[in-house]
Amino acid sequence: MPYVDSGGLRLYYGDSGSGPAVLWHTGGCGDSTMWETAGYIAALPGYRHILFDHRGRGRSDGPPDVSGHQMSCYTGDVIAVLDDAGIESAVLIGYSMGGRVGYAVAASHPGRLAGMVGLDSVPDPASQPAELRRDAGKVMAEGTRAVIQEMADAESEPPPPWLLEHLCTTDAATFAGAFEAFATAPPFWPDRRVGVVLSAQYLDEAAVAVADLPPLAVPGTAGQPPIKHRGRHAQAAEPATGWIPTDERFRDPTTRVVMRVWIDPADQSRHYVPEPGG
């Protein structure tokens, strides 16, 4: 099976099938076997599938410290895999952090992606590097399983047990590195105060926001609430007593309603509330 050197790390990728190239990139936890277990590869004949274990996951080496988890390292790894496989351009399908890596590749190497699919990967316009690094500290303090379980408990539908167990095999230092990648990613929104709250079906617009790429497929269904929030974020019909309004406003592309971000000072949670007359 192919391995490639990227920045001194030995990285694994599988290469199977024939046809247009598709590179599969998982998230902060897990490795490329999840795509096969979930049935994606068997269901998509007629493509050349590049199943990538990104740094620190699966059969790939991990960096010795957090500096090896900067987003530029992850984008460089994708380019190294494409070069080693002799692929000029590929569609990148990224789950969670993998989508963020894809957006960064599109921004820095736009000619190398023929298309982009982001799964559960819409960046929060309000997230700050300091907050993301606090999340990394939480992973290091509590461990991968505790944090993954907390995330799973906040989902509207529980993940399959096999996927939960698979994600929990990633060590805490590597999982924490994903938050360093988020913290060092290039700006996704042109203006942090004036953005668009994206439902899942608008991930094509997210790809276009960083590069002129044709989306291969767009997940999601109409009528879903904007952004699936975990823990610190939620939608509300009106502000509750004590909430503090911010200057951050977004337009929901599904309803075209302008939303304002409100903060609950009790727990610093963020809430999107429709603006009157928006």
Output the tens digit of pLDDT for each of the chain's 278 residues: 699 999 999 999 999 999 999 999 999 999 999 999 999 999 999 999 999 999 999 999 999 999 999 999 999 999 999 999 999 999 999 999 999 999 999 989 988 999 988 888 877 777 889 999 999 999 999 999 999 999 999 887 888 999 999 999 999 999 999 999 999 998 876 543 333 333 333 333 333 333 333 333 333 323 333 333 333 445 667 888 999 998 877 666 556 678 888 888 888 787 888 888 76
- Classify residue 69 by its DSSP letter: G
CA atoms within 13 A on the CB side of 71: 22
Distance from C-alpha of 262 to C-alpha of 273, rounded to nearest angstrom? 7
Distance from C-alpha of 83 to C-alpha of 77, rounded to nearest angstrom? 10
**In this structure, which amino acid lies at residue 278?**
G
Closest CA to 219 of 118, 128, 99, 76: 118
**CA end-to-end span of the chain:** 55
Distance from C-alpha of 16 to C-alpha of 46, rounded to nearest angstrom? 10
Cβ atoms within 10 Å of 261's Cβ, excluding its own: 21
The pLDDT assigned to 256 comes to: 67
Cβ atoms within 10 Å of 79's Cβ, excluding its own: 14
The answer to whether 141 and 246 are in contact (CB under 8 A) is no
The size of the chain, in residues, is 278
Helix axes 203-210, 97-108, angle to 10 degrees: 40
The answer to whether 32 and 5 are in contact (CB under 8 A) is no
Question: Is 3-222 a domain of CATH 3.40.50.1820?
Answer: yes
Distance from C-alpha of 207 to C-alpha of 118, rounded to nearest angstrom? 8
Closest CA to 98 of 203, 202, 221, 17: 203
